[in-house]
Amino acid sequence: MNQPDKIPMPSSNVSSPSDVMYWKNATKKTITIYNNTEETVYPILEGENSGRDNNGKMYDPHETSLTPGHKGGMNEEYRAYVGYKGEDKKNYLGLRHHTSITIPVPMAIWDSGRLNLVTNVSPVTTNNNLPFTYHGAAKDSPPQNLYPLQDHLPDPRRFVEPIDANGGLLLLYHAPLAEGMVNDAPSQFIEFSIRDKDEQPGQETSFDYDLSYLDHMFIPVALEAVGGDDPFNPKNKGYQAGYVGTTMSVRDLRQAMGDFSQQTNNSVLGGYFGGKGWPQIYLSKPLDGIVPNPSDPIKLPGCYNVFALSGASSSYDVLQNMLTSSAQHNPVPASPADAPNYAVKAITNLWFSWAKYWLALSENSSLGDWPSALSKLLPGVTFRAIIPADAGRAKAFAEKVYNVLRGVSTSFSNQNLAARTAQELIGYILGWTVPDGFKNRTREIDDLYQHDFKSVIRGVADYEDPNTNGNWYPSPNDVSDAIYNLNPWVWFVHKYLPGKIYAYAFSVDDDYGNILIPGAESLVVAIGGSKGLPNQSAFQPAGKKST
């Protein structure tokens, strides 16, 4: 996958921004993006105008719907593509290397918005509109409208290589169906939600944001809110939050991802997957058995997506699986449960082997109170390694793994949502996609299961016990500790690159989850380095014990 030449910005088929989306209050909230890399990056704001405030009012009630029944354009696709005017006076997509831009955020993208950062390919080229779900044929008529916003974005923060005198451009896009980009797009996304007390009475002005390496990892990004109030001390005004994410270079992060995912004789994971590496997301180029060149793009799925995308078809080739860990089929199976996947199998078997170990230690050697729905899923697994000498640690850990399996499977059984296979159940647990109302559910029960989940994902029986801190995130390459690692992805994000990545890697609560800064009205995003970040130290949540 080679870096493309200049990509022309599609021409507009409308006369003003308001023909695409409401624009009046866009400049009230801004995102400044610094491209510290040697590549052109293609930033794309994306939202659905799907949120409502505390009074039930839509965040942007001004939109004109493109779909019958979508009042105010709700649940439709809204985008803003960053671009620039070249020296030849033509309009191009992207943010060139070593430049920056400040972009206004349209209200339709304020709630549950995303900033997609695409590299290496044109974000408007299509293969049946995939993987970017860009519908270029709509230039002449619906389903989309386009508008290039020229000479509207002065760039006071430009550096190294200045953007031309006309500043940056935005291409506004509106389609009737909220699709989003698919998982194998060469893109890293940032999530944010914006609140404004003047626009949504009863709400407090704030910027809420995160970089979710929980879903995938593609390029290094760091982000932080500018201004606002200290969330831990409201009297501290003009607060500089510190960043979440990473300030690593593209080359260094790609090298680490390549080492972690090397598909043969993997030295990072050792024998955890029988010598194979962490799965990669297929990016239109076969990677199985190939050590990626650090200059090549590489995208890795988080652990939940290793399960959720198992058996999924590639956007580039329907006969190619999306993940390198899935055995190839012709055709690709429709259900993830039917797709052999070495990573899914190994992780599932390890979870269930701990549960079987706990049952063997219990006074009642039968299944006891093991739910019938779960007993049907129990795979015929044996323990992958000898229990280490610290039998007390192993017993306490096994009980908590059993509690999580039992609790989540019970919740699905009570909701008539029982998983069909053991692999599906572990996928639900890793993504914490647990039904909201299981039988006799209380806050105390919720806290119990979440506490146990957070503990075992860290590799310990009780993460709140200070004596266990030294055992957090055990190495999957350690003969004695590997059996305590139920999710090698978490170890990679938090331990393999110590002090270099500050982003959450698993669901429920991972210290570096959503950060909400009261009063903030702008966000700074730095790609592939720290230049541009007002506070170049990582954000530290109050009371945080350890990464």
Collapsing DSSP states into helix, strand and coil, what is residue 98? coil
CA distance 273 to 257: 16
> Highest-confidence range of 140-154, 187-201, 442-456, by mean pLDDT?
187-201
pLDDT in tens, 109-120: 998 899 999 998
pTM of the entire structure?
A: 0.89
CA distance 433 to 212: 16
pLDDT at res. 289: 43
Asked if the model's pLDDT at residue 143 lies above 50, the reply is no
pLDDT in tens, 94-109: 999 888 888 889 999 9
Higher pLDDT, 443 or 501: 501
What pLDDT band is residue 336 in, cutting at 50, 70 and 90?
A: very low
pLDDT at res. 145: 43
* Mean pLDDT value across the chain: 79
pLDDT at res. 247: 96
**Mean pLDDT to the nearest integer, 222-231:** 86
Contacts of 229 (CB under 8 A, 6+ apart): 236, 237, 239, 517, 518, 519, 520
Q: Report the chain's C-alpha Rg in angstroms.
A: 24
**Mean pLDDT to the nearest integer, 411-424:** 63
pLDDT at res. 291: 44
What pLDDT band is residue 547 in, cutting at 50, 70 and 90?
A: very low
What pLDDT band is residue 442 in, cutting at 50, 70 and 90?
A: low
pLDDT at res. 3: 66
Asked if the model's pLDDT at residue 127 lies above 80, the reply is no
CA distance 31 to 288: 38
Following DSSP, what letter does each residue of 225-293 receive, concatenated?
A: EESSEETTEEEEES----BEE----HHHHHHHHHHHH-SSS-TTTTTTTTT-----B--SS--TT----
Which range has the worst mean pLDDT, 158-162, 434-438, 448-452, 509-513? 158-162
pLDDT over 90 percentage in the chain: 30
Asked if the model's pLDDT at residue 469 lies above 90, the reply is no
pLDDT at res. 438: 47
**Mean pLDDT to the nearest integer, 306-318:** 86
Asked if the model's pLDDT at residue 35 lies above 50, the reply is yes
For CA atoms 452, 457, 458, 460, the dihedral sign is: positive
Residue 350 has φ and ψ, to the nearest 5°, of: -70, -45
Higher pLDDT, 332 or 480: 480
What pLDDT band is residue 370 in, cutting at 50, 70 and 90?
A: low
CB 190 within 8 A of CB 223: yes
- CA-based nearest residue to 308, from 432, 455, 129: 432
